[in-house]
C-alpha cells in the first residue's frame, strides 16, 4: 500500500515538491498503479515514458519505469524532450499510455507527471482512481520488457510539416528558457528559412536565466531585449516542458494566447469554413467575436489542457487554445498542445503578412482588461462562493456563461469568476472598452464577492491594453 501526500493529486496532473511532498517512492507507486489500470483495459499494454530537464527528473523517470515493469507493463523510453514529443510518441507508436515526468513551468524544486491513457488525457477521476488503487495496494504484479526508442527524427519531420513555404524570410528570436524544448528547437530552426537566434538554449534544471513561464511578463524581458537588439520580426518563448508559448512582436509588445490565436484561427477557418474553434473561458471577447466574423463557430471551453483536448475530440474542433498559451491543432496535426508545432504555423502566417506582426496587431480593436487575478479561498469554500454568486445572477436574470464558473456580460464588457481546479484560490478577470468601464466592472464583481461573504482583494491592479 502507498499513501500520496494529499496535495499532489491534482485535477489535470500530479505535481509536488521534491523531498517534501513528492519522492521516488511516489513515482514508483504511480508507475505500478498506472500500469495496472492500463493492463485492466486491453491487450495493448505498452507505455511510453519521457522526461524534462529538471534535476530530479532522471531519478523519478527511473522509479516510474520500475513501477510500470513491476505491474507487468512494457515500457518504451523516449528520453529527454518536451512533453509534446511524448504525446507524439504515444500517437505514432500506438501505445496504451504515456507518462511524462515534468514540472512544467513550476519552480526548480517542483516536479510532476502528465499522463495519457487510451489515446486520451488521463486526469480527474482517473487520477483519483490511481490514488485509491495505491492506497489499497490492489495493483497488478508481473514482469515486462523495457526498450528505448528515439522518435526525435520523426517528431522533427512532423514539426516541419507545420511550416508552409512562401512569404518573406524572417529574423526570429527564440527563448526556450533552459527548458526541455531546447534541443528540439535548435534542430527545428536549423531547418527553417530565415535567420534564427536562440537564447537560453541549454537544457538546465537550475533555470539560471529566468523562470520558464511565458505567461509572466517578467520572464519575457530578456526576449524583448533580444528582439530589439536583433531587429527581429518577432520573438517566441516556451515554458519548461514546451507545451505553451509566448509571443512578442517586432516592437517588443506581448501578444497573449487569445490574441495570436486570431491569426491562427483565420488560417484554419480558410481550410475548415464554419468549424468550431475553442478558447477557454478566460479568453478575450475579441477572439470570440473575430472567430464569428471569420465565419467560424466560437466555443467557450473550461480552462485546463486536459479538458480542452477532450472537448476538441467531442465536437471535432480543428483548433483550440487557452490564454495561457496552450495551443491545440487538430488541423494537419494530432490535437494535442504542442508549442513548437504552433510556433511553426505562426511563423508561416507572419511571413505572409503584407506588413509586420506589429502592424497587424495595431489593426485589432483595443480593449482594456485586468490581468488574471488569483486570490486565496479555502478548497471547501470556493465552490460555495461560486454557487452563491451564480444564484444571485440567475435571480437577477443576468446574461452569463456557466461553462466554468460564471462569465457575466454587462454593457461595459464582461467579468469572470471561477474556482481553480488545482489550488485553493478563486480566479477573476474583467475586460472592457475603457478604463472607466473596467472600473465599473470590477466594482460590480466586488459587490458580488461581498454578498458571498468575502472581503474582495484589489480587483483592478494594473489594467493592460488588449487587442
The average confidence (pLDDT) of the chain is 94
> CB-based contacts of 127: which residues, under 8 Å, 6+ apart?
9, 10, 11, 13, 14
Q: What is the DSSP string of 38-78?
A: HHHH-S---EEEEE-S-TTHHHHHHHHHHHHHHTT--EEEE
The CA distance from 387 to 413, in Å, is 22
CA dihedral 427, 433, 435, 436 (to 10 degrees): -110
Q: Decide if 310 contacts 267 (C-beta within 8 A).
A: no
Provide the pLDDT for residue 463. 52
DSSP bridge pairs for 300: 279
The continuous run of DSSP H or E covering 236 comes out as strand 234-238
Give the helix ranges, DSSP H, for 236-320. Answer: 257-271, 285-293, 305-315
Strand partners, 407: 401, 416
Confidence (pLDDT) at 461: 55
Bridge pairing between strands 97-101 and 47-51 = parallel
Average pLDDT over residues 250-279: 97
User: In the predicted model, what is the mean pLDDT of residues 411-430?
Assistant: 90
What number is the average pLDDT over the span 447-451? 93
378-419 pLDDT, tens digit per residue, is 888 998 999 999 999 999 999 999 999 999 999 999 999 999
Average pLDDT estimate for 172-180: 98
- Of the chain, the percentage scoring pLDDT greater than 90 comes to 87
Contact yes or no for 122/116 (Cβ under 8 A): yes
Helix or strand or coil: residue 422?
Answer: coil
Helix (H, G, I), strand (E, B) or coil at 317: coil
Label residues 41-50 b or e (16+ Cβ within 10 Å = b): eeeebbbbbb
- Specify the CATH number for 155-362; select among 3.30.70.1150, 3.40.640.10, 3.30.1310.10, 3.40.120.10: 3.40.120.10
Query: Given the C-alpha cell 514540472, which residue does it identify?
Result: 103
Between CA 83 and CA 15 the distance in angstroms is: 15
Distance, in Å, from the CA atom of 164 to the CA atom of 154, rounded to the nearest integer, reads 18
Residue 240: pLDDT over 70: yes
Res 100: pLDDT: 98
Give helix 257-271 / helix 285-293 axis angle, nearest 10°.
20
Q: What angle do CA 92, 96, 101 make, to 5 degrees?
A: 85
pLDDT of residue 462 exceeding 60: no
Helix (H) / strand (E) element for 343: namely: helix 339-351
Average pLDDT over residues 7-27: 94
CATH number given to 14-150: 3.40.120.10
Q: How confident is the model at residue 467 (pLDDT cuts 50, 70, 90)?
A: very low
Which grid coordinates are listed for 389?
A: 454568486
Q: What's residue 464's pLDDT? A: 56
Q: Three-state DSSP class for 327?
A: strand
How many whole angstroms separate alpha carbon 350 and alpha carbon 366?
20
Summarize the confidence of residues 179-187 as an average pLDDT. Answer: 98
Q: Where are the domains of the chain?
A: 14-150, 155-362, 367-466
- The class (CATH top level) of 367-466 is alpha beta
Degrees to nearest 5, angle at CA 339 with 373 and 77: 115
Distances (CA, A) of 406 to 82, 277, 359, 409: 34, 20, 35, 10
User: Could you tell me the pTM of the whole model?
Assistant: 0.93
414 phi and psi angles, rounded to 5 deg: -150, 155
Neighbours of 189 (CB within 10 A): 20
User: Do 155-362 and 14-150 fall under one CATH topology?
Assistant: yes
Question: Is 57 assigned a catalytic role?
Answer: no
Asked whether residue 453 carries a pLDDT value surpassing 50, the answer given is yes
CA distance 139 to 67: 10
The 10s digit of each residue's pLDDT in 312-348 is 999 999 999 998 899 999 999 999 999 999 999 999 9
What sign does the dihedral 240-245-251-253 (CA atoms) show? Answer: negative
In contact, 235 and 213? CB cutoff 8 Å: no
pLDDT band per the 50, 70, 90 thresholds, residue 45: confident
Smallest CA-to-CA distance from 448 within 424, 416, 413 is with: 416
Phi, psi (5° rounding) for residue 464? -125, 150
Active-site residue identified among 104, 284, 306, 317: 104
Taking the C-alpha atoms of 58, 107, 222 and 356 in order, what is their torsion angle to the nearest 10 degrees? 90
SS3 80: strand
Q: Give the phi and the psi of residue 2 in degrees, each rounded to 5.
A: -145, 130
Q: Are 359 and 366 in contact (CB under 8 A)?
A: no
Cα torsion 340, 344, 347, 349: sign: negative
Cα of first residue to Cα of last residue in the chain, in angstroms, is 53
| Cell matching residue 222 | 530578456
Query: Residue 292's beta-bridge partner residues?
Result: none
Cell numbers linked to 129: 482512481
Amino acid at each position: 500500500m502507498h499513501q500520496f501526500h494529499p496535495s499532489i493529486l491534482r485535477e489535470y496532473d500530479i505535481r509536488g515538491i521534491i523531498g517534501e511532498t513528492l519522492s521516488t517512492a511516489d513515482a514508483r507507486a504511480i508507475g505500478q498503479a498506472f500500469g495496472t489500470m492500463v493492463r485492466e483495459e486491453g491487450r495493448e499494454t505498452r507505455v511510453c515514458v519521457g522526461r524534462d530537464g529538471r534535476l530530479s527528473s532522471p531519478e523519478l523517470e527511473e522509479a516510474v519505469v520500475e513501477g510500470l515493469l513491476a505491474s507487468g507493463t512494457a515500457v518504451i523510453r523516449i528520453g529527454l524532450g518536451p512533453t509534446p514529443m511524448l504525446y507524439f510518441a504515444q500517437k505514432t507508436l500506438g501505445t496504451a499510455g504515456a507518462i511524462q515526468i515534468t514540472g512544467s513551468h513550476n519552480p526548480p524544486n517542483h516536479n510532476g507527471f502528465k499522463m495519457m491513457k487510451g489515446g486520451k488525457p488521463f486526469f480527474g477521476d482517473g487520477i483519483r482512481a490511481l490514488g485509491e488503487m495505491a492506497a489499497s495496494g490492489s495493483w497488478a504484479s508481473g514482469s515486462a520488457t523495457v526498450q528505448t526508442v528515439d522518435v526525435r527524427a520523426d517528431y522533427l519531420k512532423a514539426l516541419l510539416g507545420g511550416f508552409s513555404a512562401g512569404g518573406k524570410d524572417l529574423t526570429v528570436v527564440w527563448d526556450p528558457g533552459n527548458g526541455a524544448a531546447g534541443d528540439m528547437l535548435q534542430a527545428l530552426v536549423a531547418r527553417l528559412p530565415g535567420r534564427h537566434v536562440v537564447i537560453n538554449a541549454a537544457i538546465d534544471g537550475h533555470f539560471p536565466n529566468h523562470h520558464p513561464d511565458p505567461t509572466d511578463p517578467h520572464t519575457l524581458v530578456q526576449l524583448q531585449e533580444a528582439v530589439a537588439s536583433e531587429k527581429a520580426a518577432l520573438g517566441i518563448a516556451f515554458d519548461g516542458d514546451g507545451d505553451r508559448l509566448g509571443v512578442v512582436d517586432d516592437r517588443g509588445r506581448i501578444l497573449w494566447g487569445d490574441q495570436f490565436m486570431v491569426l491562427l484561427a483565420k488560417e484554419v477557418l480558410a481550410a475548415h469554413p464554419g468549424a468550431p474553434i475553442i478558447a477557454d473561458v478566460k479568453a478575450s471577447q475579441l477572439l470570440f467575436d473575430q472567430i464569428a466574423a471569420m465565419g467560424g463557430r466560437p466555443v467557450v471551453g473550461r480552462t485546463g489542457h486536459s479538458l480542452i483536448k477532450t472537448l476538441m475530440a467531442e465536437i471535432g474542433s480543428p483548433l483550440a487554445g487557452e490564454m495561457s498559451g496552450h495551443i491545440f491543432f487538430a488541423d494537419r496535426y494530432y490535437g494535442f498542445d504542442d508549442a513548437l508545432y504552433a510556433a511553426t504555423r505562426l511563423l508561416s502566417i507572419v511571413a505572409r503578412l503584407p506588413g509586420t506582426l506589429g502592424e497587424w496587431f495595431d489593426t485589432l480593436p483595443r480593449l482594456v482588461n485586468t490581468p488574471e487575478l488569483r486570490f486565496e479561498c479555502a478548497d471547501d469554500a470556493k465552490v460555495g462562493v461560486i454557487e452563491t454568486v451564480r444564484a444571485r445572477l440567475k435571480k437577477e436574470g443576468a446574461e452569463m456563461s456557466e461553462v466554468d464558473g460564471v462569465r457575466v456580460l454587462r454593457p461595459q464588457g464582461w467579468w469572470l469568476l471561477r474556482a481553480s481546479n488545482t489550488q485553493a484560490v478563486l480566479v477573476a478577470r474583467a475586460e472592457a472598452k475603457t478604463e472607466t468601464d473596467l472600473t465599473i466592472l470590477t466594482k460590480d464583481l466586488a459587490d458580488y464577492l461581498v454578498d458571498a461573504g468575502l472581503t474582495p482583494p484589489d480587483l483592478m491592479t494594473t489594467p493592460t491594453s488588449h487587442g
